[in-house]
Amino acid sequence: MILNVAKIICAEQWRYWLRTKVAATVLLLGAMLTIAALVVNAFHIDEAAHTRDHLQTEAEQRFEAQPDKHPHRMVHYGHYVFRAPTPLSVIEPGVDTYTGNAIFLEGHRQNSAMFAEQRQSAGLTRFSSLTPSFLALVLAPLFIILIGYGSVSREREAGTLTLLLSQGTTRWQLLLGKLLALITASSLFLLPLLLACLYVAFSNESALVVILFCLSYVVYFLLWATVVTACSAIFEKGSVSFTVLVVIWMSACVLLPRLGSSVATNIAPSIGKLEADFKVEEKLRSLGDGHDVNDPAFKKLKEDLLAKYNVDSVDDLPVNFRGIVAQYSEGRQAKVLNEFAETRMSEELEQAQIARQFGWLSPTVAVRSISTILAGTSLETHHRFLREAETLRLEFVQALNKVHAEKLDYKLDINRNASEEAADKAVVGADNWAILAEFDFKPEAGSTRISNALIYFIQLLLWMGLTALLLQAAVRRLNP
């Protein structure tokens, strides 16, 4: 009986929305925006995935197709690695939008990722931010407020609430009916997103991850529909409930996430990129110049090597001393670079984790954390990409340095600048370029991502409990 009456009230609310042009327009606009964002993003990501696949293959082919060259020139010729977007990034691009998805790998340095969406877009065109997750997490609640803030207060202000309750309709039935209507209206925004998830479920993604991803958004929409219905019931006037709801929206969707970032950077400050780069350069300089075999930094290496091979001069070594120095120097540089990179990543992660604690204060932050972690577009996944790219970088640079040490004669090498002819002789064959390991970056396993997101699901559970209490309070306070 409770549900029957609730369904009748829900149907009537829908009839009101459809006959009131403003409400119908808001619903239509919201649904169209969601679909547009999904379609645009899906095309964009699909194109990006194909482009990255193509570019990765082309980069490998171009590297291997280089003619006979000095191996160190190949170290600086470099190589690109690309990260293919995860299936759920169609909905949640996460940090990919800011961090970039391609890295140029070369000797002696760790380059940042590039081709970030936000860096490519012009300063004034913010449409690139209109991702489906942004729409669902930030704009959809505003649409829910616009269509739902007056759902109960309208009845009170018009006087129909007294008549409704005097017909034997209970307060629970009334609020349940209004809530049901708002939930079904919200599903207009949610449905395209869920359909996209269904499509993703058939791609190379864990079904459980997709289900939990959808569930977090469904719960988020339920939370907002409940809060809007409850506020509409608690406050006597529609204008008051609208004002209160907009304040709640501003706090949850705009201010608290920003505050989270600010607090994180204050609690766990990190040095700027420029300052960090200077420090890295300073430290690297102290390690010696790997291009100069006479640098005092390699004196001991030289002595050890001469002793090992029992010779008096580097000219008599069975290996190219310049190649050995390059190998040695690259190894030490990589260690320093990794130390700095790990420090920077741990600082970034600490900041991200502090910002995510704001999920206890805002459900938007909680769902955003779940969404990025499950979609494989979180900071943790980006850091894995950087680490895997660095492993590949060091492997291919050291492989070239090995070729340098073992396959290029030392005398030819040191005389390479004497003449054009000498330069032509100081090369190794192009068959030595087949050293690139296949790079196929995959995000963490589904189970790892789920376990990483667990704490944020607990945040969401807390919000469910709080909104249930709010609804109960609204039922108690609902008076004509």
Partner 1 sequence: MQTNSVICADALTVCVDDRTLLDNLNFNVGKGEVFALLGGNGAGKSTTLKTFLGLMKASSGSATVLGHNASTQPNQVQKSVAYLPESVTLYGHLSGVENIRYFLSVAGVDKSDDDMFAALRKVALQEDSWNKALSNYSKGMRQKTAIALALLRNAPVLFLDEPTSGLDPAAIDEFNALVSELAAGGATIFMVTHDVYGACQVAHRIVLLSNGKLTGSFERAGDTPIDTEAVHAAFAGRNV
Instruction: State the residues that interact with partner 1 by CB under 8 A.
Output: 1, 4-5, 8-9, 12, 15-16, 19-20, 158-160, 162-170, 173, 479-480
Using an 8 Å Cβ cutoff, are 374 and 213 in contact? yes
Minimum CB distance to partner 1 smaller for 39 or for 165? 165
Give the length of the chain. 480
Q: Which residues pair with 383 in a beta bridge?
A: none
Minimum CB distance to partner 1 smaller for 148 or for 376? 148
Residue 149 Cβ vs partner 1, minimum distance, rounded to whole Å:
18
Radius of gyration of the chain (CA): 30
d(Cα 243, Cα 294) in Å, to the nearest integer? 74
Minimum CB distance to partner 1 smaller for 15 or for 273? 15
Minimum CB distance to partner 1 smaller for 19 or for 308? 19
Residue 17 Cβ vs partner 1, minimum distance, rounded to whole Å:
10
Residue 236 Cβ vs partner 1, minimum distance, rounded to whole Å:
15
Q: Write the CA distances from 227 to 221, 243, 306, 440, integer angstroms.
A: 10, 13, 77, 44
Write the CB contacts of 63 (distance below 8 Å, at least 6 apart in sequence): 74, 77, 79, 433, 436
Write the CB contacts of 295 (distance below 8 Å, at least 6 apart in sequence): 288, 289
Minimum CB distance to partner 1 smaller for 76 or for 477? 477
Burial code (b: 16+ CB inside 10 Å, e: under 16) for 431-442 equals ebbebbeebebe
Residue 178 Cβ vs partner 1, minimum distance, rounded to whole Å:
13
Write the CB contacts of 384 (distance below 8 Å, at least 6 apart in sequence): 441, 443, 444
Residue 21 Cβ vs partner 1, minimum distance, rounded to whole Å:
11
Residue 243 Cβ vs partner 1, minimum distance, rounded to whole Å:
24
Residue 12 Cβ vs partner 1, minimum distance, rounded to whole Å:
6
Minimum CB distance to partner 1 smaller for 447 or for 479? 479
Minimum CB distance to partner 1 smaller for 164 or for 210? 164
Minimum CB distance to partner 1 smaller for 12 or for 289? 12
Torsion from C-alpha of 222, 224, 230, 233, nearest 10 degrees = -120
Write the CB contacts of 377 (distance below 8 Å, at least 6 apart in sequence): 86, 88, 89, 92, 93, 94, 95, 96
Residue 187 Cβ vs partner 1, minimum distance, rounded to whole Å:
23
